[in-house]
Amino acid sequence: MAVTERDLAASGIVIVPARDDHAEGLMRLIEPIFAEYEGVLFLMEEMPELRSIATTFEQDGGQFWCAFRDQQLIGSVGWTPATEGVGVELKKLYVVKAQRRHKLGHVLTSRVEVAGRAAGCGFVELWSDVKFDAAHRFYEARGYRRDGRTRELGDQSDTVEYYYRLDLDPAGRAEHD
């Protein structure tokens, strides 16, 4: 049985639209996640959108959400329109280590998939650092497919990312459901 937002709420987790004043919480969320991987640096100058996350995503035509438990930010996700085609790009899915494998990531990802369907989009795409093996397994288990494309960000971490895509069924289900 799939975990729902109602199930998460019963365990004290709430998901809310992001606000610009969530910046400090987002930094505290993301920095230790990056630290889990050798050579992945958390540098604010490379992620200035965190300082005004709600405004940035709204201006880009998307949405961003934050998950909280006991007033601590424990997860995030957002989307913007895809750069090509009629789709959405999933961005900044992060979940604190203690909450992984407890379905928060699935619920957050589902938010993006539902938003894509509601906007009449045919797919969700994303880019994921080649070092984030656990994230790759997560996306692949949800039906996202890697097509072999990579991109280099030219940042101080020398990030290379894989491209993933999930085609959406207009009947309201992702291809993997």
* Helical segments of the chain, H only: 5-10, 23-35, 53-59, 104-118, 133-141
Please report, rounded to a whole number, the percentage of residues in the chain having pLDDT higher than 70: 95
Is the residue at 158 inside a domain? no
β-strand partners of 94:
76
In a domain, 18, yes or no: yes
- With cut-offs at 50, 70 and 90, classify the pLDDT of residue 114: very high
CA distance 134 to 154: 23
Instruction: Tell whether the model's pLDDT for residue 126 goes beyond 70.
Output: yes
The span from the CA of 88 to the CA of 136, in Å, is 18
In a domain, 43, yes or no: yes
pLDDT in tens, 27-63: 999 999 999 999 999 998 999 999 999 999 999 999 9
88 falls within a domain: yes
- pTM, 2 dp: 0.90
Rounded to whole angstroms, how far apart are CA atoms 15 and 8? Answer: 9
Task: Judge whether 89 lies within some domain.
Answer: yes
Per the structure, the complete domain to which residue 20 belongs is given by 5-122
Domain count, the chain: 1
Average pLDDT over residues 67-94: 96
The answer to whether residue 14 is domain-embedded is: yes
CATH code for the domain in which residue 35 is found: 3.40.630.30
Q: What is the pLDDT of residue 19?
A: 97
pLDDT for the residue numbered 177: 43
